[in-house]
Amino acid sequence: MALADDVANAMHALEMLASRPEGRGVSEIAERLGINKAIAHRLLAALVDAGYVSQDARTSSYFATHSLGALGLRQLSSSGVGTWAQRALDSLAADCEELVRLAVATNDSLQWIAKAQGSNSSLRLDPVMGQDAVPHATASGKAWLSTLSSERVAVVLEHESRLSTTARAPLDRSGLLLELDEVRRRGYATTFEEMDLGINAAAAPIYGAGSGREATGTISIAGPSVRMTRARMAELSPLLLAAAAEVARSWPSYTYLVADEELSA
């Protein structure tokens, strides 16, 4: 197996373990990765040696250690998320009085990394940060997918199928592709109780690497379905799109990209 394949499979294994605190067995990981058990065991052993994975002596299951979370937190801290995005999140949350979240795209996944809660005190949501957004069943996922090529969409959905999800809505590829066309036309995506019962959401892509490129993240507004109606989403959409544009202007990866291009010019 090529080194690149080893690295890719090791990262996919970490993603699977990060989403399952109780751990996974080597047979399950091998099956999900489409590799034989011996190779999976070797990759997991290397991750154990590196300190990012541990094995339960009683069950033989593997689970991600706190070192993996610490690595992610160090990366987020170095990106300055608290300074370049939080003000926009807080402002949007105050205006809409709902939960606002920022998600960052990394390769074939989208992860929520920051949030702001509006001042509405009833029926508040308080989700755990650091979770992956299910691409086909979240407004954030659809907003991101709408900026990808059809080939990239297929890759992301294939990646999703290897990870455990809890979406209420099953994946309908043809229906999703039609919906993505509508998202591109409208500029934002919506979901209606597709991920969680009683929760609707709207999300806009963030073009941190410049317009015409894949979105580097998304910004979303989520709330109880009794409040987040289709009409309410349309009413909030100008604020949502403005917030996405504001965050894009200070996106770290965009800043580094521009600097690199200027140096090479």
CATH of the domain at 37: 1.10.10.10
> What is the C-alpha separation between 200 and 222, in angstroms, rounded?
6
Instruction: Evaluate whether residue 260 is within a structural domain.
Output: no
Confidence of residue 148 (pLDDT cuts 50, 70, 90): very high
pLDDT score at 254: 40
Q: Does 188 reside within a domain?
A: yes
User: What pLDDT, on a 0 to 100 scale, did the predictor assign at position 165?
Assistant: 66
Q: Quick one: 177 and 244 in the same domain?
A: yes
* Closest listed residue to residue 169, CA positions, set 196, 187, 148, 205: 196
Q: Are residues 44 and 131 in the same domain?
A: no
Residues 123, 240, single domain; the answer is yes
For residue 147, what are the domain limits?
Answer: 80-255
Domain end residue (candidates: 11, 45, 68): 68
The answer to whether residues 41 and 110 belong to one domain is: no
pTM over 0.95: no
Please write the tens of the pLDDT for every residue from 169-189: 888 999 999 999 999 999 999
Distance CA 230, CA 19 (A): 31
166 and 64 together in one domain = no
Residues 20-73 have pLDDT tens digits of: 777 899 999 999 888 899 999 999 999 899 888 989 888 889 988 877 766 765
